[in-house]
Structure 1
Amino acid sequence: MAAGKSKIGRRVARNLGVPFADTDRSIVAQHGPIPQIFEREGEAVFREYEREAVARAVSRRSVVSLGGGAVMHPDTRALLARATVVYLTVSSAAVRSRIAGSNRPLLTDGIESWERIFAERAPVYESLATETWDTSTLPITRLADDIAAWAKGRV
């Protein structure tokens, strides 16, 4: 959460000349605001919506920004295991200001919630990652340009 996936992903897609898909935005467009989905239908239903959005997005040759918890669904992990996955990391110190005032439903205790969730998810992120980039200090434009150059070298 709050690693800059959408901003970086959008720019990487533009640099590569491919479509960009943000699964959180897709879910919101189809089902309404994420906090309301969590409140109304629960996290399990949200994760199923997320799995469906990921399946649609990865079926096309595109750059996909996933919600931070998408990888917790086993079917989503199976989809990603066949894809090139860029794992964007961010330090606790850098993320603190990024999540301040956030209405993210899983961040009930602010940075403490983020740190606990990150610790739970990190092994899964690492197992799926083709390449890892840290977003804590470098400008997003530079990171996106570097990732796009890396991706072009893989083709």
Structure 2
Amino acid sequence: MTEPALVLIGPMGAGKSSIGKKLARSLGTTFTDSDGVVVQAHGPIEKLFADHGEARFREIERAAVSEALARGGVVALGGGAVLHPATQQDLAALRVVLLTVSAQTIASRLRGTTRPLLQGDDPLARWRELAESRRELYERLATVRFDTSTGPIQDIVDAIAAWAQEATS
């Protein structure tokens, strides 16, 4: 039987993918990135957005999230994946880690971004809008929260791993 997923959610650039990979290694389990599942099956997210729009992308993303959650292990969701009601329902029964990050920290992480929802004159302002519009949803879905703004990534991974092991014992 597959172990229930430990899910990482949060705004773009919070470190879900990089922390998720290290966390899975630390916990001795698998890692799945829902955005990676989308890219593998359908090509670059930027192109999906350009060719088919956000609504179609969200449908494709939902299927990828469902597949990733079924695999178990550590699962990183794209920033907007939590918008889908079926995903919200799925997350209610799982351990969900909200990764937060400050706007000051995110500014350096977004330089040269190709993320479709951050295109335009002021990617940081757009990031702030998106993060704020989703904040209550992230908080409602989360079991626990960790900030990724400062400190070595391994310290954050270790803290989440310790929490996860405590939560299952």
The answer to whether 1:28 aligns with 2:34 is no
What is the TM-score normalised by the length of structure 1?
0.97
Give the whole-Å Cα distance in 1 for the aligned partners of 2:99 and 2:154.
14
- After TM superposition, list the pairs within 5 Å mapping 1:7-18 onto structure 2: 7-18=18-29
Structure 1 residue 49, shift from structure 2 partner:
1.1
**Selected match of 2:87 from 76, 80, 100:** 76
Q: List structure 1 runs of 4+ shifted beyond 4 angstroms.
A: none
Matching residue of 2:14 = 3
* Matching residue's letter, 1:13: A
**Selected match of 2:130 from 109, 113, 117:** 117
Matching residue of 1:135 = 148
Q: Which blocks of at least 5 consecutive residues in structure 1 are unaligned?
A: none
Identity %, equivalent residues: 50
The answer to whether 1:37 aligns with 2:36 is no
Structure 1 residue 149, shift from structure 2 partner:
1.1
Give the whole-Å Cα distance in 1 for the aligned partners of 2:40 and 2:54.
17
3-state SS in 1 of match to 2:116: coil
Give the whole-Å Cα distance in 2 for the aligned partners of 1:21 and 1:92.
26
Q: CA RMSD in A?
A: 0.8
Give the whole-Å Cα distance in 2 for the aligned partners of 1:34 and 1:58.
20
Structure 1 residue 61, shift from structure 2 partner:
2.5
Q: Which blocks of at least 5 consecutive residues in structure 2 are unaligned?
A: 1-11
* Matching residue's letter, 1:47: R
* Matching residue's letter, 2:52: E
**Selected match of 2:76 from 44, 47, 65:** 65
What is the TM-score normalised by the length of structure 2?
0.90
**Selected match of 1:148 from 151, 161, 164:** 161
Q: How many aligned residue pairs are there?
A: 155
3-state SS in 2 of match to 1:143: helix
3-state SS in 1 of match to 2:71: coil
